[in-house]
Structure 1
Amino acid sequence: MTRRRTFAQQQHHAQTDEAGNQWLSIEEAARLLGVGQSTLRRWSDAGLVPVYRTAGGHRRYREADLLALLKSEERPRRRLSRKALVDLSFALYHSQLTAQVASRPWYSRYQPEHLAELRALGRQLVELAFRIVNRAVDREELLRAGRTIGQRYGEISAQAGLTPAEAAEAFLAFRAPTYLAITQFAEREDIPTRRVLRLLGELTILLDEVLLATLRSLEPDTSLTRSVS
């Protein structure tokens, strides 16, 4: 009886070292895991999947590592889902969206310390979003926390000299990791479509409140104007 060949042997391009390890290219590894190459790159960069580099800088994956990951998928999925997906969503944000907004006039007016705090606020926003998923917070409490984040967004934007319209545009860009984290979480956990739509609706309500709080904090202090007059 013919023995079943390994996945790597079936692909013809995989290499075997002296220890008998089968090494896969990123294309072969992504096919084995059933994900896209860009997803596998993000997982590798976040330390979720072991990856090695050739002398020429090419990524190589050991088939045994990937098979072990597949066999233990149910355990790490829940252990890594929140922190890992937050990290992955921010990695994607910085690699793609930052390149898009960096050319906007308002972006250069944020100082490095502003951007660092905005990133921290963004992570807090993602954590609030996960509390929606876990139903671990009262709705009013959630909205209050969101408004607090929005107020700080506005204060930072005011310090940077942004107009309300520019601050709104900035927030729309900085909120991207929140949607990314939740959609990736939903995909990994196989959440039913109906519940995903409900979660996204609740998330939109939260983010709308954050945006409104951002804009309110940029409004001139009319009480001070009245007292002076």
Structure 2
Amino acid sequence: MNMTDEWLSLSDAAKLLGVHPSTVRLWSDKGAIPVHKTQGGHRRYKRSEILLWAETNSKSQTEALAPEGMMNEVVKNVRMQISEGRLQAESWYQKLDEDARAQYRMSARSLFQGMMTYVATNGEEAATEAYAIGYEYASRARRYQLSYVDAARAFLFFRDTLVESVVKVYSEANVPPKRATEMYTKIHTFTDDILISLLETYRKLEHANH
């Protein structure tokens, strides 16, 4: 058999393209890459078709379809929502001076960057990242004299904005429901760990000052 007509598994196709298997799975589900199904429902790829596809698709196109690329679109959408004045309506935000408000807007970046890292690394070292972000939110709330409840509200505002943006971007990209559900689950798992870290850290800092 000619080498270029060799059949590849999903993981083999991912290695050939230099991307994570989950990225190839997403491309396959979107119909963006040539894929064949066995009678047992397994994905198979022809080496020749994959090589041709790689040659005719630019790096920017493939990155846009990857989970990491889609998260970049999500972050852009989040920034747009925040800039539209939604923060001004939040009760906890109204209690802050301008310097504190700027710090909170900047703190949103750590959440979004952490989420992007979580997706790109398939969740590796997620617990450490979640703890660090939770600690950051808790210490900032204490520094600006926000209550325990307001600290949680501040984090949940950014978390909910992130989730809304993921729903919007994934819906517009026609991502299959199964893949979208997997992403929503990842977001909630990661951000739940952050919230737990935030609450635990806030109480520890509060007790340390008494």
Q: TM-score, normalised by structure 1?
A: 0.54
Q: CA offsets, 1:133-168, max 9 Å, x none?
A: 44x2444x1121121111111111111111111211
Task: Identify which of structures 1 and 2 has the higher relative contact order when contacts are C-alpha pairs closer than 8 Å and 6+ apart.
Answer: 2
Q: Which amino acid aligns with 1:129?
A: M
Task: Give the Å deviation of 1:82.
Answer: 4.2
> In the superposition, relative to structure 1, how do residues 203 and 85 fare at CA in structure 2: closer, same or farther (>3 Å)?
closer
Q: Is the 8 A contact 1:125 1:149 kept in 2?
A: yes
What SS class does the counterpart of residue 174 from structure 2 fall into?
coil
Match of 1:108 in 2: 94
Q: Does 1:152 align with 2:131?
A: no
- Gaps (5+ residues) in structure 1? 1-71
Match of 2:86 in 1: 97
Q: Equivalences for 1:31-46 in 2 at 5 Å? A: none
Give the Cα–Cα distance (whole angstroms) in 1 for the partners of residues 135 and 147 of structure 2: 15
- Gaps (5+ residues) in structure 2? 1-57
> In the superposition, relative to structure 1, how do residues 76 and 98 fare at CA in structure 2: closer, same or farther (>3 Å)?
farther
> In the superposition, relative to structure 1, how do residues 76 and 184 fare at CA in structure 2: closer, same or farther (>3 Å)?
farther
What SS class does the counterpart of residue 218 from structure 1 fall into?
helix
Q: Which amino acid aligns with 2:81?
A: L
Q: Equivalences for 1:123-142 in 2 at 5 Å? A: 123-134=109-120, 136-139=121-124, 141-142=125-126
> In the superposition, relative to structure 1, how do residues 201 and 149 fare at CA in structure 2: closer, same or farther (>3 Å)?
same
> In the superposition, relative to structure 1, how do residues 90 and 177 fare at CA in structure 2: closer, same or farther (>3 Å)?
farther
State the aligned residue count.
148
Question: Greater Rg, structure 1 or structure 2?
Answer: 1
Give the Cα–Cα distance (whole angstroms) in 2 for the partners of residues 143 and 127 of structure 1: 15
Task: Give the Å deviation of 1:84.
Answer: 4.3
Task: Give the Å deviation of 1:108.
Answer: 3.1
Q: Equivalences for 1:169-180 in 2 at 5 Å? A: 169-180=153-164
The correspondence for 1:122, drawn from 104, 108, 112, is 108
Q: Is the 8 A contact 1:89 1:177 kept in 2?
A: yes
Match of 1:23 in 2: none
Match of 1:6 in 2: none
Q: Is the 8 A contact 2:88 2:94 kept in 1?
A: no
The correspondence for 1:85, drawn from 59, 68, 74, is 74
Match of 1:192 in 2: 176
Give the Cα–Cα distance (whole angstroms) in 1 for the partners of residues 142 and 75 of structure 2: 27
Match of 2:148 in 1: 164
Q: Does 1:208 align with 2:197?
A: no
Task: Give the Å deviation of 1:77.
Answer: 7.9
Percent identity between matched residues is 18
Q: Which has the higher helix share?
A: 2
Q: TM-score, normalised by structure 2?
A: 0.58
Q: Is the 8 A contact 2:74 2:162 kept in 1?
A: no
